[in-house]
């Protein structure tokens, strides 16, 4: 009943500078207009009200036209005076816009090729027109009154009441185009993080929460990381400039941490054998790991709270160079178990259970070194599709130098803190880790739900 015709055409239109030049004149013409006497470039720039780019373009254009003589002072030539009096091809072209690219004559093409080399004078837009006409069949039905007593859509009410009976339904074509429906949903990274939280909650853990900014005392010193360690350098850690420093906790705790660093205090360790600096510990940083929450949790535990187990899922920050496999902010899942009877086998059991629920039933553990755990181990999981082992993070048991100053006594504390962004990218078949946070609307609409 309808005949539909679609046409596309490229239309040349004025851009920002083009609109200005139609109103006030092209820069090269304004350049010549003020050159009634010999002037320097700065004088021309001021009198003609031209910016640096326009001056440079005008110089090149007018030199090409032999319209000016260069020197400390510039002057106009006879050729330049003629050029000033005549309307240029470019000026004529701009006044005619909008024009179709395919319908330009030779003169217009020359002007078009010159102007498109210059900044924001013209732009090309793709314009699509749709023409709709009645066919002969359509004309026959044009004056017929069509009954509209049709059911357009089946709904719950129709089915319950039975009012659809003896009614006519509007016919529809199941092959016709329908717009794609995108349901509302949480960001896919947040979906994954919520799932991680649910795993730990189902295993009986309580969640730890805290600020993204903390003092070096909690981020490093409380975790027995030496003030001379390279991780505390600017190239590894983001330090806060305002406020540059924060408050330290009780004098007793600070003193115990100080002694632990200097000579081991009563932990049986020799410490790091250096002079601990209180001002260094006050420096504010963006947290480099969620283990800062473990330290703050341990210090607040009482005897009647034990045994206990805690987890966190949160954002951390490292001064990394941004590329396809590195971000300067990342997500980490932290966990601690405080129990007189806890041992390394329990730690491995918790981690195997967690990674199995994340889709990696095979996990292995290798000896490693971390400043605040001993024994320490790296966690590898076997990728079921790529058929290879992938490293996902570290774990271990907190050293006495961490536990005793914070908790008041040395008992086993299991600890882990693997990153989870690599798991998320793998689940969504994302090859560049930067795509996790680029917030491309097409990606957010089309990416699958987190299903584990």
One domain for residues 236 and 382:
yes
Work out the percent of the chain whose per-residue pLDDT is above 90: 42
Q: What is the pLDDT of residues 33-83, one digit of tens each?
A: 888 888 888 888 888 888 888 888 888 888 888 889 888 888 888 888 888
One domain for residues 109 and 243:
no
Any domain includes 174: no
Question: Which range of residues forms the domain containing residue 48?
Answer: 2-128
Any domain includes 392: yes
One domain for residues 264 and 394:
yes
In this predicted structure, the answer to whether residue 376 has a pLDDT above a threshold of 90 is: yes
One domain for residues 120 and 251:
no
One domain for residues 119 and 212:
no
One domain for residues 119 and 260:
no
Average pLDDT of the segment spanning 275-279:
93
Any domain includes 154: no
Q: What is the pLDDT of residues 116-137, one digit of tens each?
A: 888 889 999 988 889 999 999 8
Among 128, 148, 179, where does a domain finish?
Answer: 128
Using pLDDT thresholds of 50, 70 and 90, give the confidence band for residue 452: low
Among 82, 107, 128, where does a domain finish?
Answer: 128
Average pLDDT of the segment spanning 97-117:
89
One domain for residues 113 and 245:
no
In this predicted structure, the answer to whether residue 196 has a pLDDT above a threshold of 90 is: yes
- In 10 A of CB 290, how many CB atoms? 22
CATH number for the domain including 81? 1.10.10.10
Any domain includes 306: yes
One domain for residues 219 and 114:
no
Any domain includes 172: no
Any domain includes 169: no
Q: Which region among 15-19, 175-179, 204-208, 222-226 has the lowest average model confidence (pLDDT)? A: 175-179
Among 107, 128, 149, where does a domain finish?
Answer: 128
In this predicted structure, the answer to whether residue 146 has a pLDDT above a threshold of 80 is: no
Q: What is the pLDDT of residues 200-220, one digit of tens each?
A: 999 999 999 999 999 999 999
One domain for residues 193 and 94:
no
Any domain includes 143: no
Verdict on whether the full-model pTM lies above 0.75: no
Average pLDDT of the segment spanning 182-207:
92
Average pLDDT of the segment spanning 308-315:
94
CATH number for the domain including 241? 3.30.930.10
Any domain includes 119: yes
One domain for residues 216 and 322:
yes
Instruction: Name which residue leads in pLDDT, 142 or 325.
Output: 142
The number of folded domains in the chain is: 2
One domain for residues 193 and 272:
yes
One domain for residues 202 and 105:
no
């Amino acid at each position: 009943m309808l005949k539909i015709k679609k046409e596309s055409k490229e239309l040349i239109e004025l851009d920002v500078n083009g609109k200005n030049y139609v109103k006030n004149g092209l820069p090269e013409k304004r350049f010549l207009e003020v050159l009634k006497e010999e002037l320097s470039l700065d004088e021309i720039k001021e009198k003609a009200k031209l910016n640096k780019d326009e001056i440079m373009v005008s110089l090149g254009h007018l030199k090409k036209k032999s319209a000016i003589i260069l020197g400390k002072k510039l002057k106009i030539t006879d050729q330049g005076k003629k050029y000033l009096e005549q309307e240029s091809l470019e000026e004529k072209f701009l006044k005619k816009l909008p024009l179709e690219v395919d319908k330009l004559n030779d003169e217009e093409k020359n002007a078009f090729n010159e102007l498109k080399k210059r900044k924001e004078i013209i732009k090309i837009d793709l314009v699509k027109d749709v023409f709709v006409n009645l066919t002969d069949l359509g004309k026959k039905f044009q004056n017929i009154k069509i009954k509209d007593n049709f059911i357009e859509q089946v709904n719950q009410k129709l089915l319950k009441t039975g009012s659809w009976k003896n009614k006519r339904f509007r016919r529809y074509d199941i092959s016709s185009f329908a717009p794609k429906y995108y349901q509302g949903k949480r960001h896919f990274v947040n979906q994954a993080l919520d799932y991680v939280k649910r795993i730990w909650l189902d295993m009986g853990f309580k969640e730890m929460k805290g600020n993204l900014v903390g003092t070096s005392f909690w981020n490093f010193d409380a975790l027995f990381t030496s003030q001379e360690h390279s991780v505390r350098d600017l190239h590894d850690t983001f330090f806060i400039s305002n406020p540059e420093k924060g408050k330290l906790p009780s004098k007793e705790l600070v003193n115990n941490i100080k002694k632990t660093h200097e000579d081991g205090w009563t932990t049986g360790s020799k410490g790091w054998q250096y002079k601990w600096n209180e001002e260094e510990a006050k420096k504010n940083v963006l947290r480099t790991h969620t283990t800062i929450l473990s330290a703050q949790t341990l210090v607040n535990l009482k005897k009647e709270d034990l045994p206990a187990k805690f987890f966190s899922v949160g954002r951390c920050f490292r001064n990394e160079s941004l590329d396809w496999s590195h971000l300067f902010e990342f997500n980490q899942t932290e966990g601690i178990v405080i129990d007189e009877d806890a041992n390394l086998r329990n730690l491995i059991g918790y981690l195997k259970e967690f990674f199995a629920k994340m889709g990696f039933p095979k996990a292995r553990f290798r000896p490693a070194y971390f400043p605040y755990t001993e024994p320490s181990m790296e966690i590898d999981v076997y990728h079921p599709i790529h058929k290879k082992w992938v490293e996902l993070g570290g774990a271990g048991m907190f050293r006495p130098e961490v536990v005793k100053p914070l908790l008041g006594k040395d008992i086993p504390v299991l600890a882990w803190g693997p990153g989870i962004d690599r798991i998320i990218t793998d689940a969504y078949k994302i090859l560049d880790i930067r795509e996790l946070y680029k917030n491309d609307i097409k990606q957010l609409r089309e990416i699958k739900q987190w299903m584990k």
